Structure 1
Amino acid sequence: MSATRDELHALVDELPDEQVAPVLALVRENVAAARRREGAVLALERIRERMRGVTGVDEELERLRDESRG
């Protein structure tokens, strides 16, 4: 386990039980968001591969990706 994970475990162990649940909720939320981002990236790559060679698709996909970040 990395030093950062060890530190997280040590800090959580110091929390009173009633404060552990909010920390776990925050971690779960971040994990779910990371999985959604990974899924979106994979979907974009599949679309890009299927549309390879079609004029203007790469530019349109780039535009859509950039808009979603803003």
Structure 2
Amino acid sequence: MSAIRDELHSLVDQLPEDQVPPVLALVRENIAATHRRGGAVRTLERIQKRMRGVTGVDEELHRLRDESRG
């Protein structure tokens, strides 16, 4: 295990029992957010690959965005 993980375990061991659940919830939330960001990045990469070589895509996206504001 890495030194940072060892330190985390040591710090959690020092917490009063009632304070451990909020720490674990924070860690779990961070992990979930990381997975969501990774999924979003992969989706955008797939879209970019599919749109490569298609003319007028940027202009159409700008047009749609501007219409929704107006």
* Cα distance in structure 1, aligned partners of 2:28 and 2:21: 10
Q: Superposition RMSD on alpha carbons, in Å?
A: 2.1
CA contact (8 A) 1:48 1:58 kept: no
- Structure 2 unpaired stretches of 5+: 62-70
Query: What amino acid sits opposite 1:54 in the alignment?
Result: V
Question: With CA pairs under 8 Å and 6+ residues apart, which has the higher RCO, 1 or 2?
Answer: 1
Residues 17-28 of structure 1 correspond to what in structure 2 (within 5 A)? Answer: 17-28=17-28
Change in 2 beyond 3 A, CA 1:22/1:44? same
Q: State the shift of 1:48 in Å.
A: 0.6
Highest CA radius of gyration, 1 or 2?
2
TM-score when normalising by structure 1: 0.77
2:39: which partner in 1? 39
TM-score when normalising by structure 2: 0.77
Give the share of equivalent positions with the same residue, in percent: 77
**Secondary structure of 1:53 counterpart:** coil
